[in-house]
Structure 1
Amino acid sequence: MKNRLKVLRAEKDWTQADLADALDVSRQTINAIEKGKFDPSLPLAFKAARLFNLPIEKIFDDEYEA
């Protein structure tokens, strides 16, 4: 799953650890999500959307093309 977490995090000048603390996950989880190695759970995706005040689909893209 593509995502804009790294870009959004950089805009706020946050480290991966800062974002991890805000989302109550590990820095390794943030790293894996940013690299596309791990897809966030739905509750985590909603939490990120609230944190950045954006709709989920503005942060995460399932790359599905119909």
Structure 2
Amino acid sequence: MTLREIVARNLRRLRQAKGLSQEELAHRAGLDRNYIGYLERSKNSPTVDTLERIAAELDCDPAAFFSRPE
């Protein structure tokens, strides 16, 4: 599994754990809903700044995006 895929899986998991839709997360983070979808499908690689914005909206440490699934 690539790092991009790990970030994608964790982003989806963290978003769903907060009960947010892609659209709601995108709105809160000032991003496009399609972009969130691309990230979750590992079609795009987010910048560090983008991960920081998303983490703030998900109330998590940005490092959480990089944890390997068990």
TM above 0.5, yes or no, is: yes
Partner of 2:35: 29
Which TM-score applies when normalising by structure 2? 0.74
RMSD of aligned Cα (Å): 1.6
What's the offset of the Cα at 1:5?
1.1
Q: Distance in 2 between matches of 1:55 and 1:14?
A: 17
Partner of 1:9: 15
Unaligned runs of 5+ in 2: none
What's the offset of the Cα at 1:55?
2.4
Which TM-score applies when normalising by structure 1? 0.78
Greater helix share, structure number: 2
Q: 8 Å contact 2:22–2:37 — kept in the other structure?
A: yes
Partner of 2:63: 57
Identical positions, percent:
21
Unaligned runs of 5+ in 1: none
Question: Would the alpha carbon gap of residues 34 and 22 (structure 1) be closer, same or farther in structure 2, given more than 3 Å must change?
Answer: same
